[in-house]
Chains A and B, each alone.
Chain A
Amino acid sequence: MSAIAKLWNAIFFHRGNGWFDLPRTHQTEALPPHEGPFGPMKAKTASWLTRITYGGRHATPGFYVAVAIILTILTLVEVWLFTVTSLGALFVPLLLFLSVVKFVMVIGFFMHLRFDPKGFTYIFAAGMGLGVTVFLVLLTLFSKLSG
């Protein structure tokens, strides 16, 4: 095996499983430590993320309050961005990004898509996907996205 192929496998594969395949829950077997490009970091991060977002479990009031605080901070950042006059072309994309983050947090945590069976997520995502695509096409026809 050539050195390049070895490096390729070391970076991207472990027993045929891509290193970038995030585990579903924190109970999933952790990847072997000290292997792959980031060592145990990735598995630990993923497991930590799963734990703090209550993947597959019901959340506590404290968690909901924390989500609401983050949402409030994001809203404050949005309003602050509004007062900043030097953003130029970055202004709209930044605001849209923040509102997408808020949107996802509400449907994920408050509307329980993070905790519920995935079927509901698929249905809502299908509606969102279709709506966003169709109306982006419509706005393009009215040349609303270029200027």
Chain B
Amino acid sequence: MRKKDLAQAHTASTAQAHPAAHEAPAHEDTSTGLNTRKLLMWTFLASDVMFFGSLIAAYLIYRNQSLVGPYPPEVLDIPITSISTFVLLMSSLSMVLALHYIKAGESRTGRLWILATAALGSVFLCFQVYEFNAFVHEGLTPRTNLFGTTFFTLTGFHGAHVTFGVAWLLAMAIVATPGRRERMGLLLGVGGFYTAAVGALAIFAGSIPPLDNAVGLVMFLAGSVIAIAGSYNLITADKAQKTPISSLDLEISGLYWHFVDIVWIVIFTVIYLISASDPLPVGAALHGG
């Protein structure tokens, strides 16, 4: 019975800390007291552990088994990947802040953090596109050797998870934006952002065929201006406006998002830092060194 008292005390203390109406009850009316949808998401994540575990295991089993180059130390770019890792880490912070503010009823701030999360996730994806593109230019494709096969498969499926997460967050942002003026801001902000992102990619990757540097620069600048203009509507939105978003929905998408982040924590260590320190096979010369 002591457990039950604790649970009740817990409920009471949370209610005190957050008087906002958006707070989900700490003790749900289910057999376990766990929220049914959160339980589903955690079960899914436990299962996804086996999915990524299998992919990482395949990568490790084929580590140092490639018969021909390019080998990991020749192509992996640790400074660039460190930045993209930091970006994904920051997206986890903005996700948890979004949930905090939506729960607290501050929907305007919460919505901005949701969008920040989607934006940071998209920047991470841009880094991935840039990286894949660079690897192909250095002669590493999924067919080249075992490193290419396992690397592109593993990081590609991680990227697919991020992409799905971004789409999910954008859908949440749309739902969280009821007003006309704010919806316009959202449209401009998101549209401008992706225009700028494609422009930036065209400049840095330098090989998106129809886009040359000049077009890329124009897209980047114009997109940025539109995005800032759209964001203005969102930043100055009515603070008191109610958002028809459930904190539970956001919490569940957040669980997914953080999971994708922890998978990357493992990938960054195991694939990037460790593999980039692997010894080169005897006789292999560094590419373009």
A and B together in one complex: yes
Of the candidates B18, B46, B97, B254, which one forms a contact with A123 in the assembled complex, judged by CB atoms under 8 Å apart?
Answer: B46
Task: List B245-289 residues whose CB lies under 8 Å from chain A.
Answer: 251, 254-255, 258-259, 261-262, 265-266, 268-270, 273-274, 276-277
Interface residues on chain A, number (Cβ under 8 Å): 49
Beta-carbon contacts of A103-145 to B below 8 Å, as 1s and 0s?
1001101111000110110011011101110110011001010
Interface residues on chain B, number (Cβ under 8 Å): 54
The answer to the question of A96 belonging to the interface, with a C-beta cut-off of 8 Å to chain B, is yes
* B residues in contact with A96, CB < 8 Å: 269
- Are A68 and B269 also in contact (CB < 8 A) when A57-B13, A92-B274, A131-B49 are? no
* A residues in contact with B255, CB < 8 Å: 111
Residue of B nearest to A82 (CB): B273
* B residues in contact with A112, CB < 8 Å: 251
* A residues in contact with B39, CB < 8 Å: 119-120, 123
Of the candidates B10, B46, B89, which one forms a contact with A68 in the assembled complex, judged by CB atoms under 8 Å apart?
Answer: B89
The answer to the question of A61 belonging to the interface, with a C-beta cut-off of 8 Å to chain B, is yes
The answer to the question of B235 belonging to the interface, with a C-beta cut-off of 8 Å to chain A, is no
Give A102 to B92 CA distance when docked, in angstroms. Answer: 12
* A residues in contact with B42, CB < 8 Å: 120, 123-124
Assess whether A99 is in contact with B261, with CB atoms less than 8 Å apart. no
Assess whether B45 is in contact with A99, with CB atoms less than 8 Å apart. no
- Are A82 and B276 also in contact (CB < 8 A) when A75-B86, A75-B89 are? yes
Of the candidates B18, B53, B269, which one forms a contact with A58 in the assembled complex, judged by CB atoms under 8 Å apart?
Answer: B18
Task: List B91-127 residues whose CB lies under 8 Å from chain A.
Answer: 92-93, 95-97, 100
The answer to the question of B8 belonging to the interface, with a C-beta cut-off of 8 Å to chain A, is no
* B residues in contact with A138, CB < 8 Å: 57, 61
How distant is A61 from chain B, measured CB to nearest CB, in Å? 6
* A residues in contact with B38, CB < 8 Å: 116, 120
How distant is A10 from chain B, measured CB to nearest CB, in Å? 28
* B residues in contact with A119, CB < 8 Å: 32-34, 39
The answer to the question of A65 belonging to the interface, with a C-beta cut-off of 8 Å to chain B, is yes
Assess whether B63 is in contact with A126, with CB atoms less than 8 Å apart. no
* A residues in contact with B50, CB < 8 Å: 127, 130-131
Beta-carbon contacts of B195-207 to A below 8 Å, as 1s and 0s?
0000000000000
Task: List A63-95 residues whose CB lies under 8 Å from chain B.
Answer: 64-65, 67-68, 71-72, 75, 78-79, 81-82, 91-92, 95
The answer to the question of A23 belonging to the interface, with a C-beta cut-off of 8 Å to chain B, is no
Assess whether B261 is in contact with A64, with CB atoms less than 8 Å apart. no
- Are A56 and B10 also in contact (CB < 8 A) when A61-B97, A78-B269, A95-B273 are? yes
A-B contact pairs, 14 of them (CB 8 A): A57-B13, A64-B96, A71-B89, A72-B89, A75-B86, A75-B89, A99-B270, A110-B93, A117-B27, A120-B42, A124-B42, A127-B49, A130-B50, A142-B61
